[in-house]
Amino acid sequence: MTDATYEIESIASENPHAGWIKLTMGLGGVVFLLMMIFGLIMRAGQGGIIDLDPVIFYQLLTAHGAGMVGSAALSGAAILWYFVARHVTLSIKIYIIFLGLFLAGVVFILGSIFIGGYGGAWTFLFPLPAISGGAWEAGAAVAFCVGYLLIGVGFLLYYLEMAYNISKSFGGLFGGLGWKFIVNGDSKTAPPPTIIAASSVIVFNSIGIVFGAIVLGASIINLLIPSFAVNALLAKNAIYFFGHVFINATIYMAVTAVYELIPEYTGKPWKTTRLFAIAWAAVVVFVQIVYFHHLLQDVNMPAWALATGQIISYASGVPLIAVTVFSTALYIKGSGMKWDLATKLLVLGVGGWGIGVIPAMIDGMVSVNKLMHNTQWVPGHFHTYLLLGEVAMAFGFAAWLGRDKSSQDQSGLDRFAFQAYLAGGFGFVLMFFWSGASSIPRRWAVHYDEWQLQSQIATVFAAVVILATTLFVLRYVEIHFDERNTPMVHLETDEIVGIEVLSSGEKQLFIILGEALLQEERPVVFISDEPELSLHVSWQAALFEHIRSLNGSCQIISATHSPDIVGSFQDRVIKIEQCIRDVH
Amino acid sequence: MQTTILIVSLILMAVVGVAYARAVYATDGPPAGPGANKARSALLWGMIVFGVILSVGTLREGVYDVAGPAPMVVNVSGGQWWWEVDTYEIPLGQEVEFRVTTEDVSHGMGIYTPGMTLVAQVQAMPGYTNKLVHTFDAPGTYQILCMEFCGIAHHDMVNEFNVLEAAE
Ligand code: HEM
Ligand SMILES: [Cu+2]
């Protein structure tokens, strides 16, 4: 089929794990949407637009926090798995176990909140789960912790499988991290960007999850045996270490979509440079010691820890802004990259991430933190790098998965959805910053009258974000789950069309050649009557050769009126006229 | 102070955002020239140097506010969902050392001015006494709001005290 105008594309047959990844992204998208609606309800409650019972508010807050962090982690994990599988062999069984444990965890968490009434926030700060003031029983809090543990175990299995296979192919984890390459500078030993990202996340997030599991275990024991007490400051350190690392890992996993997909649009590889590898090495270190900035108001912490919190908060922004954001801009400028929903969202994701870290760096300063800690400034910065960062990357990846079908008729809607997401998202986070600067505390179910304007405007922006997200999700669900695997035709003009627009001759070719392709070289006999019907003469001449080039083990028997169709096989023709004459 | 923080943050975010957006929009323009790598190094080193100066400048005097020789001690204790303060009248201009404890879960003591601006805060943690040093420079009724989520009535956990001009 070398000179053929058409290329038969069975949708995304590229990646062996594509089916599971698509399912995961679909689930993640729906949960993101649902959790956004929870967020909208909370913001509307804070704005006094609706009358929201505080008990429900704190349950929604707990569900929204855990659900969003969970969906970000799930979508990040799906993206990372998909792209790591391009470089090393991974066992899909492990992925399925991971997904199963994850969903089991979700069942426990949702049950604990909406059946058990647990409303102790996603951070389960010791000893709040055990001392609810009558709002929930210990059992509900235990169920919540067990849900987290199931998800954590799934992630550890996931990372173990990845670590093992990366180590095998890239000379140990240090090879995969690119640390060997940093030392020897030999570009032949440079692992691809995705492998560096994967190895880094494996290292820090596994450590984070282990600490999380320890403090979860301790919390469970405390819930069951209240006399078993834990040091509250120690528990807080462990929780924030785990929480900070885990939420950051979601973005570091998702960014591999940028490394892998943007080059498909520009034709330029995303190269591993030494600077790139060093920036990732810095991330591995910084992400583990930066969590001290969550404890700047805990004056019993040693001074060095608080100073570290401030210094590393700043330092964490340096590789992100000066390397990731700057290099992405350099790479895309003048690349001729085509903009579609996928590229727009991926590029937004890097920008939102880079912009969102700035108010975090500022809040990491001890003097600022005294005024901004636990105000809505904090949801301001993390919504910026999650909503406009991780989530944008996730929907960008999802849009890319469905790219075949979207190019023509949906582009207007895509454009609208993107603009709404962008405008709604920025407006929404801006209101949090304004709220933070107005000293409005975070996690308050009821806001005083003079605080409500910000929440009211934010509610409108949130509704716009939700509208845009609904469009992303509908588009995705429609593409992947409504239709069977319909084949698509990729025209020379880069357009992608359904087969129904083909002429009858083209359809016939599609069927014949498609059939030959699907035989996968099995020995078959191909019998046809007048296969030349509605075919152009040039195609008639080449048809049999093409069939045989797709399946060399086939025998073709055909009745025809066209002398052209046999092409170069003239010596194999049996002329019926001759046969009849011979009989007589 | 909060307004300054907001404006500085928004400006920095806008600068990074606009520079990034301009570069990525120019997909059809000329690619980045050879000067771009230099610019990246300059940005990298610029941020590092600025960070060192900023860190030394702001951390030189330590991370905690330490009380002078004669602070007024105010004991604050928190619980689900109340604050108890042992002095409800604080003289203006007097250095105060709040000693904050909790009887149950973690709370956060945030001090709000009569105009509802947060001026200082510290955590209250089971098993610890956390000190917060502050000198009030305006009279009026100040509020204590809870800054650390502590359960279903977290937003009701408020109290107040007065800062009084010294009677001559
Ligand atoms: C339309 C979109 C969204 C809306 C309306 C929304 C709304 C909210 C609101 C009102 C809060 C509580 C703020 C407060 O403490 O007073 C919140 C907290 C939070 N949101 Fe969102 N959010 C949205 C998207 C997201 C996304 C995309 C993520 C992450 C992927 C996210 C993660 C979180 C987290 C982790 C918290 C903290 C929960 C806690 O304090 O325990 N949100 N959100
Ligand atoms: Cu509280």
Residue with token string 């709604």: A424
Are the C-beta atoms of residues B71 and B133 closer than 8 Å to each other? Answer: yes
Shortest Cα distance, chain B CAs vs residue A36, angstroms: 21
Instruction: Please tell me whether residues B116 and B139 are part of one structural domain.
Output: yes
Indicate left, alpha or beta for A336 from its phi (over 0: left) and psi (-120 to 50: alpha). Answer: left
State how far the alpha carbon of A54 is from the alpha carbons of A51, A214, A527, in Å. Answer: 9, 31, 74
Find the distance separating the first CA and the last CA of chain B, reported in whole Å: 31
Which of B46, B65, B84 represents a domain boundary (last residue)? B65
Enumerate the β-bridge partners of residue A334.
none
Q: Give the integer Cα–Cα distance in Å for A41 and A466.
A: 12
Are the C-beta atoms of residues A60 and A41 closer than 8 Å to each other? Answer: yes
Following DSSP, what letter does each residue of A62-100 receive, concatenated?
A: HHHHHHHHHHHHHHHHHHHHHHHTTTS---HHHHHHHHH
Q: Give the integer Cα–Cα distance in Å for B50 and A222.
A: 46
User: What is the CATH number for B129?
Assistant: 2.60.40.420
Nearest CA to ligand 1 atom 22: A39
Instruction: Please tell me whether residues B84 and B149 are part of one structural domain.
Output: yes
Query: At A488, which helix (H) or strand (E)?
Result: strand A488-490
Domain residues for the domain of B131 are 72-164
- Answer yes or no: do A299 and B8 touch at CB < 8 A: no
Per-residue pLDDT of chain A (584 residues; tens, 9 = 90+): 333 333 333 333 457 788 899 999 999 999 999 999 999 999 999 999 999 999 999 999 999 999 999 999 999 999 999 999 999 999 999 999 999 999 999 999 999 999 999 999 999 999 999 999 999 999 999 999 999 999 999 999 999 999 999 999 999 999 999 999 999 888 888 999 999 999 999 999 999 999 999 999 999 999 999 888 899 999 999 999 999 999 999 999 999 999 999 999 998 999 999 999 999 999 999 999 999 999 999 999 999 999 999 999 999 999 999 999 999 999 999 999 989 999 999 999 999 999 999 999 999 999 999 999 999 999 999 999 999 999 999 999 999 997 765 554 557 888 999 999 999 999 999 999 999 999 999 999 999 999 999 999 999 999 999 999 999 999 888 776 655 556 667 676 666 677 777 787 777 787 787 777 777 677 888 888 887 777 777 777 778 878 887 777 888 888 888 777 777 777 788 888 777 776 66
Probe target for ligand 1 pocket from A35, A64, A372, with the most ligand atoms within 8 Å of CB: A64
**Number of CB pairs, chain A paired with chain B, less than 8 A apart:** 219
Shortest Cα distance, chain A CAs vs residue B84, angstroms: 18
Instruction: Please tell me whether residues B11 and B50 are part of one structural domain.
Output: yes
State how far the alpha carbon of A13 is from the alpha carbons of A18, A22, A62, A260, A525, in Å. Answer: 7, 12, 39, 17, 27
Report which of A404, A384, A389 is spatially closest to residue A328, judged by C-alpha positions.
A389
Instruction: Please tell me whether residues B81 and B160 are part of one structural domain.
Output: yes
Nearest CA to ligand 1 atom 4: A39
Beginning with the edge strand found earlier in the chain, give each strand of the sheet holding B130-135 in spatial order: B82-85, B72-79, B95-102, B130-135
Structure ipTM: 0.96
Ligand closest to B148 (CA) is 2
Are the C-beta atoms of residues A324 and A279 closer than 8 Å to each other? Answer: yes
Residue type, position B160, single letter: E
- Answer yes or no: do B21 and A310 touch at CB < 8 A: no
- Taking CB atoms within 8 Å and a gap of at least 24, the contacts of A227-233 are A229/A127, A230/A126, A230/A127, A231/B127, A232/A126, A232/A127, A232/B106, A232/B125, A232/B126, A232/B127, A232/B128, A233/A298, A233/A300, A233/A301, A233/B125, A233/B127, A233/B128
Instruction: Please tell me whether residues B106 and B129 are part of one structural domain.
Output: yes
CB atoms within 10 A of CB A272: 21
Total domain count, chain B? 2
Which of B15, B48, B65 represents a domain boundary (last residue)? B65
Contacts of B20 in chain A (CB under 8 A): 325, 328-329, 350-351, 354-355
Instruction: Please tell me whether residues B77 and B59 are part of one structural domain.
Output: no
Which 8-state DSSP code applies to residue A375?
B
Per-residue pLDDT of chain B (168 residues; tens, 9 = 90+): 999 999 999 999 999 999 999 999 999 989 888 888 899 999 999 999 999 999 999 999 888 888 889 899 999 999 999 999 999 999 999 999 999 999 999 999 999 999 999 999 999 999 999 999 999 999 999 999 999 999 999 999 999 999 998 764
Q: Give the per-residue pLDDT at A6.
A: 34
Instruction: Please tell me whether residues B41 and B11 are part of one structural domain.
Output: yes
What is the value of pTM for the model shown? Answer: 0.86
Q: Give the per-residue pLDDT at A9.
A: 37
Q: Is A446 on the interface with B (CB under 8 A)?
A: yes
- Answer yes or no: do A329 and B55 touch at CB < 8 A: no
Instruction: Please tell me whether residues B18 and B87 are part of one structural domain.
Output: no
Q: Is B107 on the interface with A (CB under 8 A)?
A: no
Q: Is B147 on the interface with A (CB under 8 A)?
A: yes
- Between CA A387 and CA A394, with CA A392 as vertex, the angle to 5 degrees is 115
Ligand 2 centre to CA of A240 (Å) is 18
A468 lines ligand 1 (CB under 6 A): no
CA torsion A314-A316-A322-A325 (nearest 10°) is -120
Shortest Cα distance, chain B CAs vs residue A331, angstroms: 8
A443 lines ligand 1 (CB under 6 A): yes
Which residues have a Cβ under 8 Å from the Cβ of A405 and sit 6 or more positions away?
Answer: A11, A479, A488, A496
- Answer yes or no: do B131 and A299 touch at CB < 8 A: yes
Which 8-state DSSP code applies to residue A307?
H
Find the distance separating the first CA and the last CA of chain A, reported in whole Å: 43
Are the C-beta atoms of residues A61 and A376 closer than 8 Å to each other? Answer: no
Q: What is the CA radius of gyration of chain A?
A: 29
Instruction: Please tell me whether residues B89 and B157 are part of one structural domain.
Output: yes
Following DSSP, what letter does each residue of A472-484 receive, concatenated?
A: HHHHHHIIIIIS-
CA torsion A126-A127-A131-A133 (nearest 10°) is -70
Which of B41, B65, B89 represents a domain boundary (last residue)? B65
Instruction: Please tell me whether residues B89 and B108 are part of one structural domain.
Output: yes
